[in-house]
Structure 1
Amino acid sequence: MKKLLISMVILSLFVACKKNGNKPDLQPNDSTTQVKNDSINTNQPKEHKDESLKKINDEVLQVLKNRDYRTFATFIHPQKGIRFSMYAFVDIKGDKHFSKADFEKYEPTKTIFTWGAQDGSGDEYKATINDYLGKWVFSKDFTKGQYSLNNFIGGGNSLNNLKETYPQADFTENYIKGTEKYGEMDWKTIRLVFEDFQGRYYLIAVVNDQWTI
């Protein structure tokens, strides 16, 4: 009789376990949590988009300041490449343009390129990629400049056709005010032009501007 009771208890426990034991009790685990994509999404609210563009603007300027041109290449648009304009007027045919692959190929070399004609003298400006970026593009510490998004701060007598040339793009401006010594005519600015590609913004153009004759 005692053995019979023990058998019945064991059988009851087995049935109970069978009813509740088919499905594992899974708890949320950090390792299975989907990682958020921190790339810039162009569908995000305007204030978030503005913050994202300010962030990438600052990153590009810091990379230029550090002369870290290998990292700079990671900001270049994978399909459209990048165009460099010496002054406010963007010359689609005449301004120097690189695909991302060509920029990465020639940046470490001493290859000389013609970037455009200098205002006033009309002399061709010839330099390596590194010299152009270091001496012309980042001729001032633009990390300390006045920032603007999709609005112009600096302006001289040079035709500014940026919005007409890149109508679908966003651009940032970083402006260094001129000095009293030169009647504030020695101002300089850099405009970074961005377009989205697969949910992230990339550089398609770098436009410098300054007082021209």
Structure 2
Amino acid sequence: MKRLIVAFIILLAGCTAQQDQANVKKLEQTIEKQQTTIEQLQKKNKQLQQENEQLKSQVNQVNPSSLLSVALDVVNALKNHDMNTLAAYVHSTAGVRFSPYGHIDVQHDLQFSASQLPSLWSSTQVYQWGVYDGSGDPIQLTFQNYFDRFVYDVDFANPHMIGNNVVVGAGNMINNVQQVYANSSFVEFHFTGFDPQYSGMDWRSLRLVFEQESGQWKLVGIIHDEWTT
């Protein structure tokens, strides 16, 4: 009888050990499944974050008020000769290109980085900014003199019209803003004219060109435009 009891205990212990092993294996499988699920969720979360960033970028691109708000800040900085504020809006790697007329000359139009802008206003250095329409003479001016003639020669902060990604002023010169800045957006501040005797030929435009950088609009181009021969 004792032998039978001992055998039964051994058998019971064996069954318990097998059950424990089965439970351990089952638990390991459950943990493995949970780890797989966690990895899938982490991957999905990363994908959703990327999609969210893309959507933010798309919203900025299609939201005209966002772009216009930045453009208004920039044009007011120009009005106030506030180079520090202007510099804060300039693209960190592309800098900002200054074009005296509507046709952008990518070879000769001058570009400056954000860090260069604050000191330009008081600089006495004379730069060549291109050539004057009609005469073809070189535009050799200090930054301040260029600014007064080819950036803020009229009160663009209070224009007759504003074009959002729309060219308003058009003359004889080929406007290539959409070709040069193909992946950008621009806001145009436009005056239809000042003296009635010129029938609108004394119009002025200032186009501010922006590109997306880390989800924000950054200034890459300041284009002055007017009637040309």
Instruction: Provide the TM-score with structure 1 as the length reference.
Output: 0.76
Q: Does 1:75 align with 2:89?
A: yes
User: C-alpha separation between the residues in 1 aligned to 2:120 and 2:200?
Assistant: 37
Give the alignment's Cα RMSD to 1 decimal: 1.6
The answer to whether the 8 A contact 1:150-1:171 is kept is: yes
Q: Does 1:125 align with 2:139?
A: yes
Change (3 A) 1:168 1:176: same
Q: CA deviation at 1:108?
A: 3.5
Question: For residue 201 of structure 1, what is the aligned residue in structure 2?
Answer: 217
Change (3 A) 1:197 1:138: same
AA at the equivalent of 1:117: V
Question: For residue 208 of structure 2, what is the aligned residue in structure 1?
Answer: 192
Which stretches in structure 1 are left out of the alignment for 5+ residues? Answer: 1-40
Higher relative contact order (CA 8 A, sep 6+): 1
Change (3 A) 1:155 1:100: same
How many residues matched? 172
Change (3 A) 1:90 1:46: closer
Question: For residue 92 of structure 1, what is the aligned residue in structure 2?
Answer: 106
The 3-state SS of whatever aligns with 1:192 is strand
Q: CA deviation at 1:128?
A: 1.8
Deviations 1:102-133 (A, max 9, x none): 33454432111111101111111122222222
Question: For residue 78 of structure 2, what is the aligned residue in structure 1?
Answer: 64
The answer to whether the 8 A contact 2:203-2:226 is kept is: yes
Q: Pick from 174, 185, 188 the counterpart of residue 159 of structure 1.
A: 174
Which stretches in structure 2 are left out of the alignment for 5+ residues? Answer: 1-55
User: C-alpha separation between the residues in 1 aligned to 2:94 and 2:180?
Assistant: 14
Question: For residue 170 of structure 1, what is the aligned residue in structure 2?
Answer: 185
Question: For residue 149 of structure 1, what is the aligned residue in structure 2?
Answer: 164
User: C-alpha separation between the residues in 2 aligned to 1:193 and 1:83?
Assistant: 9
AA at the equivalent of 2:78: L
AA at the equivalent of 1:58: L
Structure showing greater Rg: 2
Question: For residue 55 of structure 1, what is the aligned residue in structure 2?
Answer: 69
The answer to whether the 8 A contact 2:102-2:176 is kept is: yes
Q: CA deviation at 1:46?
A: 6.1
The 3-state SS of whatever aligns with 1:44 is helix
The answer to whether the 8 A contact 1:64-1:134 is kept is: no
User: C-alpha separation between the residues in 1 aligned to 2:140 and 2:85?
Assistant: 23
AA at the equivalent of 2:172: N
State the identity as a percent: 32
Instruction: Provide the TM-score with structure 2 as the length reference.
Output: 0.71
AA at the equivalent of 1:112: V
Deviations 1:38-92 (A, max 9, x none): xxx5332666x21111111111111111111222111111110011111111111
More helix by share: 2
User: C-alpha separation between the residues in 2 aligned to 1:131 and 1:63?
Assistant: 17
AA at the equivalent of 2:177: L
Change (3 A) 1:69 1:130: farther
- After superposing the two structures, state which structure 1 stretch, 49-58 or 105-114, moved more: 105-114
